Amino acid sequence: MRRFGSDLGLRWRRADIWGKAVITGSAVVVLALIVTGAVFVFSSSPAPQKAAADPTASTTSTSGGTSTTSPKRHVTSHLCPLTGVTASHGLVPQRPALAVKIGNDPLSRPQSGLPDADIVYEEMAEGGITRYMAIFQCTEPAMIGPIRSVRWDDWHVLQSFGHPILSFSGGIDPWDQAVASLGWLFDANGSEGVTQSAYFRTDNRQPPWNYYSTGHDLLALDPENHTPPPPQFTYSPAAPPAAVGATGATIVGFASGSSVEWRWSSRLQTWLRFYDGVPDVDASGPQLRATNVVIEEVATQRGPYAESGTVPDVESLTQGSGPAFILRNGKVEKGTWSCAAYGDITQYRFSNGKAMTLSPGRTWVEVVPNKGYPVQIQY
């Protein structure tokens, strides 16, 4: 049985398509969607929750009523929690994590703001197209975009970040409603209400690829929130003994049919990003790079909606476990990622149970479906 397909008159609230809502179903279908869609969202998504009082721990109540608490990680006041490096002027900004959805189809490139992100998650959207969720905390980018719609993956990944702000531009109505219902994050939907004032359209691109904002404007939407997120990774100055030398990694056909490549630059001491051998660059000019690249192979499921109108969304299951690779310092660590419940901090371990660690610095997390997109490590 097909669930809530676009052929049933499902209404989009899509500022990121043409800046306005453009499709409206009949009153009967809308009413049916509100009722049945709400049932689906709240039966298939984790229940809204309040964050734990201790900012270094996260407690999650699952739909089954059980609770799990992620391991506590000490937040050092002078170290940026999402990079492990010393903060500017030696003091971590007292503000939440800011997560921004950024397009990654070919017409979205080159993007703005990615070099300033503490962490970038690359997630499958639909039809072989990936999107980014860039997370900022110690930095405040001057320009971020193009900002696109919300997806199911986004708030499931964000549950371990305390009280984050989630910036996006509309989306399928049930997803908009799901985000609005979550008391532990700030809903910065750029297509509704007063939050629209933080967004603007550029005149050098066509909609929906011209919707942008700034770090200052987005953080100003939640001025009372002064709680930094807990660290998401374990850092060490040197690579663990189990790490072995590697020159790069390729995720075959991962982004709009292009292979995503990360290559180690011994000269720059960083990982550089390519598409099929072509440098991937920011709109300001520099090639995109990362101190660490985390590759998680995850199970996926077909989403109930086709936001593009024809191809269903892909939902990446970041609860559970699977193969993991961590690229750092010109080496690769091979092991397993695991997350017992949404809201827990993901653990990365070698086969002997010892922790896989990252080098202090910015990190890209490639959330890769475990079927159809082979991961190849170059040595």
210-253 pLDDT, tens digit each:
999 999 999 999 999 999 999 999 999 999 999 999 999 999 99
Segment 56-101, tens digit of pLDDT: 343 333 333 333 444 445 455 799 999 999 999 999 999 999 999 9
pTM: 0.82
Domains and CATH numbers, the chain: 59-219 (3.50.90.10), 244-378 (3.50.90.10)
Please state, rounded to an integer, the average pLDDT across all residues of the chain: 84
Residues of the chain with pLDDT > 90, as a percent, come to 75
Binning pLDDT at 50, 70 and 90, where does residue 28 land? Answer: very low
115, with CB counted inside 10 A (0-12, 13-18, 19+), is buried
Q: Which of 32-46, 88-102, 194-208, 311-325 has the lowest mean pLDDT?
A: 32-46
Beta bridge partners of 315: 301
Q: Are residues 377 and 325 in contact, defined by beta-carbon separation less than 8 angstroms? A: yes
The DSSP secondary structure of 2-13, one letter per residue, reads --S-GGGTPPEE
First-to-last C-alpha distance (Å) of the chain: 47
Which residues make beta-bridge pairs with 309? none
